[in-house]
Structure 1
């Protein structure tokens, strides 16, 4: 069985473009050369990878399977190149961790700080994403490690619990909702809100559930962190939805009330996830071990 990385990169390009011509352009290959390489791949595996039609090509079941493996192989090769390049520049390794808003702001900083102190030769790049996007990136092999809400993950992704993360409503103690202990989210309709910036993963999550309830949230202000949001709430600018950990921390120094949201989407289990923990690169495995021990100690 003979094929190379160029064949796999071309195969991915053709699959994404749904066209051998389009794939050849993306892979910077002549059409004749691209066609020969695709035929060679099919001969090497002994199966048809594409169904040809007038409007282009579609993957066969075998092609779908190869696409998953090909993306993973290319991702691992790129990770290998990156790690070796860092050796040459004096930095030994780097781990990419995708995290949702709550993880990035409330749950991860302390654990990551202690890991970085213990491993001065490893860097950690944390990128904020919505949990569903993290799940897709992990499943496709585009990322090694994620910190996400468990409900967004398919069964095929491995995970372990890091922390519970209830979303809660905060309101000024002087406001109409300040005396409530719990509330259905639909009952907040008509109230002014203070929220995160619109592109933030958590704000997207809240917005989706509001839309399902037929609600259009009116935001008086959008800010970048939970402390600033809670300060606005304390000043009776509006109400806000924030993680309970942030709400309790801010309530110690601000006149805000914490109101439990009864809707099921407000209860979230935050997990560390990977396609396969055993197959992770060594730096990522070290980070996983540290996060696992931190989760147990919480």
Structure 2
């Protein structure tokens, strides 16, 4: 059985697009040419890969299976190309990272800035995703690396612990909870909360925990960053649960008080996820070492 890499990449484009026409456009082919290639691929595999109708295309069970393998194959091809670039294995290539809200907004921008300045041949696609989608993305090859925090099952992946943070309650100075040594999540629900945007990892996590309590999370306003959250909290609009690292940084310039959360999930271990560290190209290993501050070999 012979697979053409161009056909596999075309299939990925179509699978990730709402229609065959748009997928063909991404592959710089006409719809007719793309359709003929997909039919030929189906013939090789003796399996139907797509359901086609007026609304677009949908993957069959066989199509889902091929998509997973195709992504992994093309990812390895990209790794191979990056290893044989004129910049050198550690200085060129494209990296895709799925990460949680705190990573995307707090520490990754600074880490990636220094990393990219030193390596002009590197490009990065950083996407904020929910924790379960991060794990799934690493497993199926949609992303090179994942960054998560907190307890989460990562069976089938290699995980590298690289730092620890905790969630705390941020309140304005003089707030009724400001004098407490610690509070439970349930105690905070008597007050309106300031939250990150819809779809953020932290908001999704907190809603799940509140649902377990059989209570309701009252949102006063949703904002795009922890800095904006802290400004709202300082002004007395509401209270918010945020990473301690963010609370400490913003409390230097804002009138905030922080209260420890008496919850088992408040302490959050940050981990880097990869399918197989030994299979990663030099550029990805270099980034992991930048994040952890130690050679990857110590973790394998």
1:29 is displaced (CA, Å) by 7.2
1:78 is displaced (CA, Å) by 6.3
**Superposed CA offset, 1:199-258 (max 9, x none):** 323222222222232232222222222122122212222110100111122223333221
Q: Do 1:15 and 1:59's aligned partners in 2 also have CA atoms closer than 8 Å?
A: no
3-state DSSP of counterpart to 2:177: helix
After superposition, where does 1:91-240 map in structure 2 within 5 Å? 92-149=92-149, 151-240=151-240
After superposition, where does 1:8-157 map in structure 2 within 5 Å? 8=8, 37-38=41-42, 40-41=44-45, 59=61, 68-77=68-77, 92-149=92-149, 151-157=151-157
Structure 1: how far apart are the matches of 2:94 and 2:9?
24
C-alpha root-mean-square deviation of aligned residues, in Å? 3.9
Quick one: structure 1 residues 152 and 37, their matched pair in 2 at CA, closer, same or farther if it must change by over 3 Å?
same
Q: Which runs of 5+ in 1 are unaligned?
A: 17-21, 43-48, 51-55
Q: Do 2:197 and 2:222's aligned partners in 1 also have CA atoms closer than 8 Å?
A: yes
Structure 2 residue aligned with 1:264? 264
1:79 is displaced (CA, Å) by 6.9
Q: TM-score, normalised by structure 2?
A: 0.74
1:271 is displaced (CA, Å) by 1.1
Q: Which runs of 5+ in 2 are unaligned?
A: 25-30, 49-57
Higher helix share: 1
Quick one: structure 1 residues 82 and 127, their matched pair in 2 at CA, closer, same or farther if it must change by over 3 Å?
farther
3-state DSSP of counterpart to 1:283: helix
Structure 1 residue aligned with 2:289? 289
Structure 2: how far apart are the matches of 1:232 and 1:2?
59
Q: TM-score, normalised by structure 1?
A: 0.75
Q: Do 2:83 and 2:282's aligned partners in 1 also have CA atoms closer than 8 Å?
A: no
The list of structure 1 runs, each at least 4 consecutive aligned residues, that deviate by more than 4 angstroms after superposition, is: 6-16, 25-37, 56-60, 63-67, 77-87
1:77 is displaced (CA, Å) by 4.3
Q: Number of matched residues?
A: 280
Structure 1: how far apart are the matches of 2:261 and 2:13?
45
